[in-house]
Amino acid sequence: MQSILIIRLSAIGDVVFASPIIEALRRTHPDAHIAWLAEPAVADL
């Protein structure tokens, strides 16, 4: 299984703008484990 880690999403805008990227990664790597490393302030998004 492939793992993908997205790092340094510290602002709400970064998380929102990264959402389409996550969707594209999921389409191209459907079996991969995708994780976000984010500041606590945006972790719930």
Residue 4: strand, helix, or coil: strand
| Beta bridge mates, 38 | 9
Handedness of CA 6, 7, 8, 9 (dihedral sign): positive
Q: What is the pLDDT of residue 4?
A: 94
Q: What does the pLDDT look like over 3-44, one tens digit per residue?
A: 999 887 677 777 788 889 889 999 999 999 999 887 777 766
Q: In the block, which residue shows the tokens 């719930």?
A: 44
The structure's pTM equals 0.65
